[in-house]
Amino acid sequence: MERRKIDYYIFRAYDVRGVFPKDIDADVARRIGNAFAATFVKKECVVGMDGRLSGPELREALIMGITDAGMNVIDAGLCPRSACIFIARERKLTSAYVTASHLPKEWNGIKFADAEGIELQEEENYRVRDVVLDGSYRKAAKPGRVVKADALCPYKRFLLSRLKRPAKPLKVAIDCGNGVGGLAAPELFRELGFGVDALFADVDGRFPNRPSEIDEKSLGGLKKRVGKADIGIAYDGDADRMVLMDEKGRMLGPETTSFIIMQELAGHEKGPIIANVECLRLMDEIGKRYGREVIRIRVGNSFMVQDVIRRKACFGVERSGHFCIPSIIPMDDGMAASMYAAYALSRSGKKLSEIVDSLPQYPFQRRKVDCPEPLKAKVIAGLKESLAKEGLKVNALDGVRVDFDHGWVLIRPSNTEAIMRLSVEAEDDAELKALTARFLAMLKSEIASLGEKASD
């Protein structure tokens, strides 16, 4: 059996991803499926996919690799990622989902989750990688069987059983972005009693109306429509991430969204709040307001969900737009979070823009700096040493974070790109500019120095 060479770097800390078919094709997906079956599947697993054009080919190959290893597959087909994980979790099975999340249409990949619905962590994903790269391929005497299953109906029934109807009728503008959120979100909101204005709800892997990413640049269509609604909501391609928009067309950060949720959730749920090290100071304000400990963790939605469950938290948030409300559904679920946020708004008696305007806002900036993959760990180690010599208190939980009286700085390697991310928040623009300039220069200098040493 002829096998193509596989790029080591398609195996990321959180998932597998690459450009189709240059980096990942049917042969690569089959081998990954086989390695996943050999390492994390006991007898059976669930497989699903988002709406990318390359999805059906990769899903079929992924399933072939799993069944070659003698394991059975429940094929959930086209569905939101949360629906795939939900039916797997209900059956106490691992899952594999074909998606490239927010990346452009040319990309695709695979995300794995364990039987608790938690995304596999870095060392677990790398176990799959190592089996693939060492050339192992398990061929059982008897291949596994494939059974198709409907993931959407049980997932929607479950959410409708857990979520309450709005306190007053609100109109929701929903931008599905031609992703798989369109298969469930508009119907769910209507069933709960919201008025719905759905944009780009047809699943189309070409993403003809906007990119899969949800940011200021991509949500022009929603901005034009949200003025006639009480709240706007947008999802990425596999609908595990979401953002809110107020009726004035302002996109809310995940911390502001957390406040919308917590103003209702805090009244009936106990436990701390889980937030990663990138989340802004507003999370600390939320903790103080509702008397909750805010526990900072590493970046990664798998860590967030794991800590929500382990610490019996009431809520978890990732700065990238992932949320977990365990009393609704104990997993990372953008649609569930968006529906709860709309319900919370209906109970507030205020316009969304009024709530947004009442919250403290501090200047924030994030910068990207190119950095070769092999240098990332050395850059972080060098920065920790340099900052310690300056007498600064360094939080090394994830990258290097330094807190000051008037702001904080975080430098950490991206787990999905060959870059370092510099995040800075400060009390005013002058302090933001000063901290950014200082640490950007330090980061670039460290990368350049290590690059010169590597080339010697």
Hey, which residues are catalytic here? 101
From the number of C-beta atoms within 10 Å of its C-beta (0-12, 13-18, 19+), residue 162 rates as middle
What is the spatial distance between Cα 203 and Cα 187, in angstroms, rounded to a whole number? 14
Beta strand ranges found along 12-166 (DSSP E)? 16-19, 44-49, 72-78, 94-98, 107-113, 146-148
- The pairing of beta strand 16-19 with beta strand 94-98: unpaired
Q: Which residue has the tokens 């047809």?
A: 202
In angstroms, how far is the first alpha carbon of the chain from the final one? 40
Residue 285, both tokens: 């304000």
CB atoms near residue 224 (< 10 Å): 12
Residues across the chain: 456
CB of 32 closer than 8 Å to CB of 97: no
CB of 304 closer than 8 Å to CB of 322: yes
What is the spatial distance between Cα 305 and Cα 120, in angstroms, rounded to a whole number? 11
Q: For residue 72, list its beta bridge partners.
A: 44
CB of 15 closer than 8 Å to CB of 415: no
Backbone angles phi, psi at 307, to 5 degrees: -75, -35
* Rg value, the chain, Cα: 22
What is the spatial distance between Cα 41 and Cα 72, in angstroms, rounded to a whole number? 9
CB of 369 closer than 8 Å to CB of 383: no
* CA proximity to 242, closest of 153, 165, 172: 172
CB of 404 closer than 8 Å to CB of 386: no
Q: In what order do the strands lie in the sheet with 323-324?
A: 294-297, 273-276, 315-317, 323-324
